[in-house]
């Protein structure tokens, strides 16, 4: 295929105040850059739409530096090498990396992995269950949650990219699994298709009571994707020796003060439950596990092949849809790993 001269790029136009808006981003047309010695040119097929993007567009540095105003919006993505002047890659290799929200990306190979997909159509799972979200679930539950057979595991955001994998791994490990999700359709999916033992619709019932009913003996591992009141409800139901894994706090990412500046997340009110439960709270940043990618991927791949782990991707078509797709995460409109097809 003849590569075009120009491609489309989403850049950061403004620092969002509260909930992200379309006008915080700008779609630009730009010449496709020339590939020089030691570089590869990648045609990006699929971009991962992640809650973390909301933090990346704030000013300053947290675990990673914020995106500069005017810069290409940061994103994990998968694509295909269309030109290579790098000894490690050949044209036709499928690759994953931080390519950004754009149709073509130039790279010196740093942080880029070759993806063993049969075709471009098979790429989405490599930014889902076999990619960063799956890695977060795997190491978060096993290395931070120290989950053991027979325990009760509760996960919020359970129908999403990370949460759905957490629950299924807990099942595989012989745990009782309880998911928290928004709406009857997502809750039915958890129990009927993913094998969760119970699902709680946080939009329809009181969470403290719902968790107590589903886990009368208490929660041994709580994997938190949501934060805020959801975290408090889980803390109220901890079993003795519980582990709480703080993975994310999506309910808090758009918090802003009266001037529109980012405001801190609501802290846990029930934190003394950690004391009475003799529990621990552990945080996870998936970047710390990237050097163990092959270990995680071969295990997840084995479970997928054996029919023990189901994956679901929600694909939005057309690069122009990027801001709308990002908003879907905060409205609970994605069902499975949210992905943008860009070329």
Question: Is the Cβ of residue 254 or residue 270 nearer to ligand NAP in the bound state?
Answer: 254
Question: Is the Cβ of residue 247 or residue 316 nearer to ligand NAP in the bound state?
Answer: 247
Instruction: Check: CB of residue 342 under 8 Å from CB of residue 45.
Output: yes
Question: Is the Cβ of residue 74 or residue 186 nearer to ligand NAP in the bound state?
Answer: 186
Question: Is the Cβ of residue 86 or residue 182 nearer to ligand NAP in the bound state?
Answer: 182
**Which class for 130: exposed (0-12), middle (13-18), buried (19 or more C-beta within 10 A)?**
buried
Interface residues toward ligand NAP, by CB under 6 A? 50-52, 133, 136, 157, 159-163, 181-183, 186, 225-226, 247-251, 284-286, 329-330, 332, 334, 338
Q: How far apart are CA 40 and CA 84, in angstroms?
A: 4
> What would the DSSP string read from start to end of 7-66?
EEEEEE-S---SS--GGGEEEEEEEPPPP-TT-EEEEEEEEE--THHHHHTSSSBSSSBP
Residue nearest ligand NAP (C-beta atom): 160
Question: Is the Cβ of residue 41 or residue 52 nearer to ligand NAP in the bound state?
Answer: 52
Q: Find the shortest distance in angstroms from Cβ 55 to ligand NAP.
A: 8
Q: Find the shortest distance in angstroms from Cβ 298 to ligand NAP.
A: 20
Question: Is the Cβ of residue 3 or residue 193 nearer to ligand NAP in the bound state?
Answer: 193
Bridge partners of residue 250, in order along the sequence: none
Q: Find the shortest distance in angstroms from Cβ 62 to ligand NAP.
A: 11
Structure tokens at 229: 């009141």
**Could you say which DSSP state residue 341 is in?**
E
Q: Find the shortest distance in angstroms from Cβ 84 to ligand NAP.
A: 30
Q: How far apart are CA 13 and CA 334, in angstroms?
A: 25
Q: Find the shortest distance in angstroms from Cβ 146 to ligand NAP.
A: 17
Q: Find the shortest distance in angstroms from Cβ 63 to ligand NAP.
A: 8
Instruction: Check: CB of residue 82 under 8 Å from CB of residue 105.
Output: no
């Amino acid at each position: 295929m003849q590569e075009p001269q120009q491609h489309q790029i989403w850049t950061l136009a403004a620092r969002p105040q509260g909930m992200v808006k379309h006008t915080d981003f700008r779609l630009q047309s730009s010449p496709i850059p020339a590939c020089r010695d030691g570089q590869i040119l990648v045609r990006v097929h699929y971009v991962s739409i992640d809650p973390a993007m909301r933090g990346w567009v704030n000013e300053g540095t947290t675990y990673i530096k914020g995106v500069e105003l005017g810069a290409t919006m940061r994103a994990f993505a998968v694509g295909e090498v269309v030109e290579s002047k790098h000894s490690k890659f050949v044209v036709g290799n499928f690759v994953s990396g931080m390519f950004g929200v754009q149709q073509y990306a130039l790279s010196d190979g740093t942080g880029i992995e070759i993806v063993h997909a049969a075709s471009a159509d098979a790429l989405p799972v490599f930014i889902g269950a076999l990619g960063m979200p799956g890695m977060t679930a795997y190491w978060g539950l096993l290395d931070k949650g120290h989950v053991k057979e027979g325990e009760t595991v509760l996960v919020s955001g359970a129908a999403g990219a990370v949460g759905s994998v957490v629950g299924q791994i807990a099942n595989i490990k012989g745990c009782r699994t309880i998911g928290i999700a928004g709406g009857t359709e997502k809750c039915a999916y958890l129990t009927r298709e993913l094998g969760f033992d119970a699902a709680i619709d946080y939009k329809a019932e009181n969470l403290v009571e719902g968790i107590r009913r589903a886990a009368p003996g208490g929660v041994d591992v709580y994997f938190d994707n949501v934060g805020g009141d959801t975290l408090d409800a889980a803390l109220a139901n901890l079993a003795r020796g519980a582990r709480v894994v703080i993975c994310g706090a999506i309910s808090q990412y758009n918090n802003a003060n009266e001037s529109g500046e980012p405001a801190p997340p609501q802290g846990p009110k029930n934190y003394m439950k950690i004391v009475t439960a003799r529990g621990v709270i552990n945080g996870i940043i998936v970047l710390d596990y990237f050097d163990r990618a092959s270990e995680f991927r071969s295990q997840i791949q084995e479970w997928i092949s054996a029919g023990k782990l189901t994956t679901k991707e929600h694909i939005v078509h057309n690069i122009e849809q990027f801001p709308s797709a990002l908003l879907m995460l905060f409205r609970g409109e994605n069902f499975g790993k949210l992905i943008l097809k860009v070329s």
